[in-house]
Amino acid sequence: MKDIIISPSILSADFRCLGEQMELLAQAGCDTIHVDVMDGVFVPNISFGQAVMKTIAKDAPLPMDVHLMIVEPGRYIEEFAAEKAVESITVHVEACPHLDRVIAQIAEAGKKPGVALNPSTPLSTIEWVLEKLWMVMIMTVNPGFGAQKFIPAQLKKIEQLRKMIDDRKLDTVLGVDGGVNRKTAAQVSAAGADYLVAGNYIFHGESTARAAAEAIREACK
């Protein structure tokens, strides 16, 4: 098992002081910052746009993973990739009819490419691009809102994806996004995940963000 990467989603942060909230995550020992970009079309919510991203990326204390929950993400890759703090860009297979092309766009922009799969989306949709991906993100909630309940049926998908990755002897990161807390972290880690997006639990689940992050790491051992 690789070391667990904890990537808190700032969708659950206090929007009045995002800079301070990101510093809090760095002090808590988290690894990256997960930024959910939502357009109100692909998902039923609107969150951050390019202007906010540009502002918060200036002094980001940790690398950032931009999760584009938007239609036609290929139109915006270069704009988000322009920010130095952005380490990776994750798009949804359901929003990319030309997924291979978008993956190439991300890589050509100098960022690590990731692909997210909604709960009802089968692993077969990434079978022919898996070798090109830095990360595959299994959504363990239906995307669009924070603080949702974990969908246990996704554990089987995580196990199957771990087998796909291992059978091909790849270094692809296996991410999980949605409903991650102390209990579910242990479950997804045992199933093969090594990159956990946790928003509500990090910001509101324990006495401090550090305590929450440490609880997740301990649960994954």
**What values do phi and psi take at 210, rounded to 5?**
-60, -45
Catalytic (active site) residue 36: yes
pLDDT at 1: 43
Q: Residue 2 pLDDT more than 60?
A: no
Q: Of these residues, 36, 39, 65, 194, which one is catalytic?
A: 36
What's the whole-model pTM score? 0.95
Q: Residue 87 pLDDT more than 80?
A: yes
CA–CA dist 180, 201 (Å, integer) = 7
What strands lie across the sheet with 195-197, from one edge to the other?
5-7, 195-197, 173-177, 135-139, 112-117, 86-92, 64-69, 33-38
Q: Of these residues, 39, 65, 177, 194, which one is catalytic?
A: 177
Q: Residue 199 pLDDT more than 80?
A: yes
Catalytic (active site) residue 167: no
Q: Residue 147 pLDDT more than 80?
A: no
- In which band, very low, low, confident or very high, does the pLDDT at 33 lie, cut at 50, 70 and 90? very high
pLDDT at 55: 94
Is 5-220 CATH 3.20.20.70?
yes
Average pLDDT over residues 11-38: 96
Summary mean pLDDT of the chain: 95
Q: Where are the domains of the chain?
A: 5-220
Chain Cα centroid distance, residue 216: 16
- Name residue 196's beta-bridge partners: 6, 176
CA–CA dist 29, 73 (Å, integer) = 31
Query: Which helix (H) or strand (E) element contains residue 112?
Result: strand 112-117
